[in-house]
Each structure stands twice: as structure tokens, then as C-alpha cells.
A and B are shown apart, each in its own frame.
Chain A
Amino acid sequence: MSAGAAPAVDGALPRPATKRRAPRRTSTATLILYALAVGAGLGLSSAYLLVRRDFPIGGVRAGPWVAWPRVGSREADPYARAIVARRGEVPLGVGEGLAFTAATDSAGQPLTATCEYRIGSVTPPARYWTLTLYDQTGRPALGDLGRAGFTSGEIMREADGRFAITLARDPAPGNWLRQPAAGPVRLVLRLYDTPVAAGSAALDAASLPAIERGVCAP
């Protein structure tokens, strides 16, 4: 009895089991939809994440400063073009000048409004330069005094042509820039009409102003 029933059970059970499993097998249409969803999701999100950040390719670093000379030329890469379009930026052409951005001090610590900094004392060769402090919204930190930076024409220099800028919340003698109340800050040094942009002048940390951190508010 038991010997006769066993084959019957063995023979009967697997067949309904495979029949039942067949509809559970993922259909080709579902897999295609899945592949399309993965493609659209990953593709769009990775593109979005990349263009929200700084230019990924072609950065020239010198100490805390970084510049992207190719963004202002015909050789700008597609990411740079996409980022420029997204920000609504009008980049400086290589024939016009070059902008250096610093988000950290010379030691690599992020620039913040609660610290005091000393910036100096040389700039690369250029006909004119401007140095501007930006608050966390990307606007010039004009404050109540209406001053967010210095130009080569108005800065006070030592007898040897060197200069020092003090970045602090409280007034300081000499070239003083007032820090905004809070948040991370950025410095942009723009060189106008400079051989540096075309790559014909050497760039190293010593040819750009150093950013030294002083006292920090607790």
C-alpha cells in the first residue's frame, strides 16, 4: 500500500509544483521595465549629482586655490558646459582672465565665518586683480559696510609691494574685510588680463596669497 502510494505521490507532486512555479517566473516584460527603471534612475541621478558640484575635470590647484582655465575656452568639457548652464554662469574667457576659488585655508581647514584669517601677500602677474569674500548663499559678503573685497587698485601695500588682508568680524588696522555673521565662506581671486590663464606662467602655492587661520570664536 505504502509502496504503491509513494510513486503516485512522487509522480503527482512535482508536476503541479512546476505548473505553479511557472507563473511566478519573472516575465520578460517585467525585466525590461526593471532595466529601464534602473537606467533612468541611475543615469539621471548620477548626472544631477555631478552637475550640482564643482567642475569635475581640469582643475588647477595651487595651495588652497583652484581654477578651471579650460571652462573659459573652446575646450570646455561637456560637464563644465552643463554646470555653467545649470548655474546660469558666464565664465571668464581665457583671454579675459582667470578666477581662483578657495574654500579652505592653506592648512586645508574649511573657511568659516567664525574664524579670523590673514591673507597675503602676493598675487600672480596680472594687469588687475580683485579678491572677493562670498557668504554661504554665494553672494558677496557686503555686510553693512558695503565692502566684500579689495582690488589691486585700492589695496594698501607694504613698501615692497606685498599686502596683507585681515578677515575678521571685528575691525582691524590695515586691509580689513568684515566676516559675515555665520556659515561657511569662500574667497575668489580674479586675475584680469593675465598670462596665467593661457598657461604661460608657472603657478604654485607661493605665487598665490596664503590663507592663514587666526583666532576662532568658540
Chain B
Amino acid sequence: MSESARFVLATLCGLVIAGMVHLSAVLAMPWLSENDAFSRLAGTLSADRAQIVAAPATGETWLPQPDPNLAISACAYNLADGPVRIATRTGRLFQSLSFHARGAGVFYAVTDRAAIRGSLDLVVMTRRQLDEILAREDEEDPSRDVRIVAPSSEGFAVVRVLATTPSQRQEAEEVARSVACTIDPLPGAPRR
């Protein structure tokens, strides 16, 4: 093989390798990033209350381009410890709740329109935990929980409360602060 042909071949191999490196770098970024929302919220994994991420009054937040009218609270979860129940009370302020899987984005979102008797109450779990709950459930008395199956075991829930006027900011922050994220033990014997 001539010298230039070898060089061209090496360059083509380099381009193919570049394509693979590019793809794997993009795919790995959500998992390697240390600035992503999950990494920043990792400290809330064991907390029972959501942590305030953005408060409209002070404006201090790590979120890029935050909406200054929103009070945002979030809590991270790891479903290996059991299903997680997110409970928030709704009032006259607009409120929305979204679930984000680590590295995979939003997988469920609702607004306060879905609230029942002034509270939004959802349980997030893995497919396996859902099967286990369904198997043990009393058919005569089914649970009224809203169950959401998460695509992966790690993620976080985010509650946004909108203050449409500055006078509502304090109230919005209090609502966001009162969001509870607790582990809901599986019925029967504990798994671990």
C-alpha cells in the first residue's frame, strides 16, 4: 500500500473513531455531569421535605434562566429504598409537579388541576414494585393512590408554585417548602 493510501486510511479510521467518541460523550454526559440537577439535589435523598431550589423573593438559585415568579422546590429519590410518595397541598396559587429521571428527563408532569380535595398526592415506583403492590392488593378495597412507574430508580421530583404578584411570593415559598417526599414502605415484609 502506498504511503498516501495508508495515511488516508488512518484518517478515515480517525473519523469513524471520532463519530463513536462523539456519540458516547453525548450519551454519557447526563451521567458524568457534576452540575446537573440530580447531582445538585443528591443531598436531599434522605430528606423528608423538599428543598427550596428557587425562591421568588430572594432570587437566589442555581437554575439557569430562572422564572423570578416561581417558587421551586425539589427532592431527589432512590427507589431502591422503596416507592416514594410526593405530597403537596394546593391552594389558590398555580402549582405543578414533575418527575425527572436521572439522565432521561421528564417522565411525568401534572398541574394542580389534578388535585383531589386540595392535595396532590402521587407515588413513584419501579415496575417491579408496582407488580408487587398489585399482587398484594386487596381487590375489594383498592388503593386510590396515583401510581407512576419511573423509567429508572434514580431521579427527582420538582414542585413549581407561581406567584403572579409580588404579594403572593411569601405564600408561594411556604407552599413549595411544605412539599413532603417520604418513602412509602411496600405492604407486607420489607424487601431489604
The residues of A with any CB-CB pair to B shorter than 8 Å are: 25-26, 31-32, 34-44, 46-48, 50-51, 71-74, 76, 78-82, 84-97, 127-128, 130, 132, 134, 138-140, 142, 148-149, 151-154, 186, 188, 190, 192-193
Q: How large is the interface on B (under 10, 10 to 19, 20 to 34, 35 or more residues)?
A: 35 or more
Contact check, A85 vs B68: say whether CB atoms are below 8 A apart.
no
Contact check, B162 vs A128: say whether CB atoms are below 8 A apart.
yes
Contact check, A95 vs B110: say whether CB atoms are below 8 A apart.
yes
Contact check, B67 vs A72: say whether CB atoms are below 8 A apart.
no
Binds A, one of B11-19, B116-124, B136-144, B184-192: B11-19
Chain A residues whose C-beta falls within 8 Å of the C-beta of B7 in the assembled complex? 26, 31
The residues of B with any CB-CB pair to A shorter than 8 Å are: 3, 6-7, 9-11, 13-23, 25-27, 29-30, 33, 35-37, 40, 53, 59, 62-70, 72, 74, 94, 96, 98, 100, 103-111, 113, 151, 158, 160, 162, 164-165
Contact check, A88 vs B17: say whether CB atoms are below 8 A apart.
no
Given contacts A85-B33, A193-B111, contact A31 B106 (CB under 8 A): no
Instruction: Report the bound CA distance from A107 to B141 in whole Å.
Output: 62
Total A-B pairs, Cβ < 8 A: 199
Chain A interface helix/strand/loop/mixed: mixed
Chain A residues whose C-beta falls within 8 Å of the C-beta of B151 in the assembled complex? 74
Question: Given known contacts A44-B21, A47-B22, A86-B35, what 7 new A-B pairs fall within 8 Å (CB)?
Answer: A31-B10, A43-B17, A74-B107, A76-B105, A85-B35, A90-B100, A139-B65
Contact check, A43 vs B105: say whether CB atoms are below 8 A apart.
no
Contact check, B14 vs A36: say whether CB atoms are below 8 A apart.
yes
Chain A residues whose C-beta falls within 8 Å of the C-beta of B68 in the assembled complex? 132, 140, 142, 148-149
Closest to B98 in A: A93
Contact check, B30 vs A96: say whether CB atoms are below 8 A apart.
no
Name 16 A/B residue pairs within 8 A (Cβ), A-sorted.
A42-B18, A43-B20, A43-B21, A43-B25, A44-B22, A81-B103, A84-B36, A85-B30, A88-B63, A93-B106, A95-B108, A96-B98, A132-B65, A132-B69, A138-B64, A192-B162
Given contacts A40-B21, A73-B106, A93-B98, contact A84 B16 (CB under 8 A): no
Contact check, A96 vs B165: say whether CB atoms are below 8 A apart.
no
Instruction: Report the bound CA distance from A153 to B162 in whole Å.
Output: 11
Chain A residues whose C-beta falls within 8 Å of the C-beta of B106 in the assembled complex? 72-74, 76, 91, 93-94
Chain B residues whose C-beta falls within 8 Å of the C-beta of A91 in the assembled complex? 105-106
In the assembled complex, the CB of B182 is this many whole angstroms from the nearest CB of chain A, namely 21
Contact check, A151 vs B165: say whether CB atoms are below 8 A apart.
yes
Instruction: Report the bound CA distance from A42 to B11 in whole Å.
Output: 11
